[in-house]
């Protein structure tokens, strides 16, 4: 029961380190002593796969095919790419103790069979004791390798959570620094962000809201463009369909508004023709 609790505490401890950088150089130095694999055997475990040049050109047109997250335009896309690369590296590092653990476990199984036969055959106690000492060393190695695997698996989970956070925060209308700070919240299990998110929202909104605050987008006023102006900014002459309009409007009108006798309310003089007819 105590051992299970210790393992659970180890997992929770690694979850809380989601924001901390992983020193792969230090890890490689330690693992090279405990798990001495040839570099040729583990090169695909240590480095994430490179993006194909044909795919890089889809995201950004560059003179040279650069395999780097800077090719991605959105900051959160770059964050997701970085975190996913970490996930691969951590998972690749966990392959070393996993392979070593499998190899030693098989060897221990064979050694136990040999010791069992030695006891049955009445082998000298000193030889049996030497065999038991080797078994103890093998079991201690397996225990340490299992701890390394648990630690790396837990860290891989934490980094994958950070990548998912960046993905879900991509649509949030906020600055990049605020998004990154939420990605770095310690992971405690259950929900993607956990209770720390509620504390951040309460502090940012003064306890008035339970949702993430959004930045108000400033509306860009469109400049007025008359029908005589085009994209070049120059006034163009009237089109063929509006020639008559400009020709007529250029003449001075003979009518003067407000000078009609009817509109002024004056008397209308009858014409001589109208008098004769009457």
**Residue pLDDT, tens place only, 111-134:** 999 988 888 888 888 888 888 888
Kindly report the pTM of this predicted structure.
Answer: 0.67
**For the chain, which residues score pLDDT lower than 70?**
1, 59-70, 216-278
Instruction: Let me know if 244 is exposed, middle or buried by CB neighbors in 10 A (0-12, 13-18, 19+).
Output: exposed
CA distances 223 to 220, 226, 234, Å, are 9, 10, 15
CA distances 154 to 9, 142, 151, 194, 242, Å, are 11, 18, 5, 17, 75
Q: What pLDDT is recorded for position 254?
A: 46
- What digits encode the pLDDT tens for the residues 238-254? 455 444 444 444 445 44
Q: Does the structural domain 24-171 have CATH classification 1.10.287.3160?
A: yes
Q: What pLDDT is recorded for position 123?
A: 83
Q: How far is CA 175 from the centre of its chain?
A: 14
Q: What six digits make up the tokens of 112?
A: 């136990």
Q: How far is CA 28 from the centre of its chain?
A: 27
Among candidate residues 251, 78, 87, 258, the one with its CA nearest the CA of residue 166:
78
Q: What pLDDT is recorded for position 255?
A: 42
Contacts of 169 (CB under 8 A, 6+ apart): 76, 179, 182, 183
What is d(CA 180, CA 135) in angstroms, rounded to the nearest whole number? 48
Cβ atoms within 10 Å of 74's Cβ, excluding its own: 11
């Amino acid at each position: 029961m105590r051992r299970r609790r210790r393992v659970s505490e180890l997992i929770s401890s690694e979850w809380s380190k989601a924001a901390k950088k992983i020193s792969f150089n230090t890890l490689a130095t330690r693992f090279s002593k405990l798990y001495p694999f040839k570099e040729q055997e583990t090169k695909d475990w240590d480095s994430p796969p490179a993006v194909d040049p044909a795919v890089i050109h889809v995201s950004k047109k560059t003179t040279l095919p650069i395999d780097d997250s800077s090719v991605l335009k959105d900051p959160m896309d770059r964050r997701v790419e970085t975190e996913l690369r970490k996930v691969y590296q951590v998972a690749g590092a966990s392959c070393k103790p996993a392979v070593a653990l499998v190899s030693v476990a098989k060897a221990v199984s064979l050694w136990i069979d040999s010791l069992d036969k030695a006891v049955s055959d009445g082998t000298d106690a000193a030889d049996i004791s030497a065999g038991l000492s080797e078994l103890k060393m093998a079991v201690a190695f397996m225990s340490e390798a299992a701890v390394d695997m648990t630690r790396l698996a837990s860290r891989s989970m934490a980094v994958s959570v950070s990548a998912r956070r960046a993905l879900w925060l991509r649509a949030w209308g906020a600055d990049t620094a605020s998004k990154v700070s939420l990605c770095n919240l310690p992971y405690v299990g259950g929900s993607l962000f956990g209770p720390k998110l509620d504390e951040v929202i309460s502090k940012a909104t003064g306890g008035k809201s339970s949702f993430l605050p959004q930045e108000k987008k400033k509306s860009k006023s469109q400049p007025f463009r008359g029908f005589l102006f085009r994209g070049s900014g120059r006034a163009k002459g009237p089109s063929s369909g509006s020639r008559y309009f400009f020709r007529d409007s250029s003449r001075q009108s003979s009518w003067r508004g407000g000078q009609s006798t009817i509109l002024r309310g004056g008397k209308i003089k009858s014409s001589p023709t109208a008098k004769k007819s009457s």
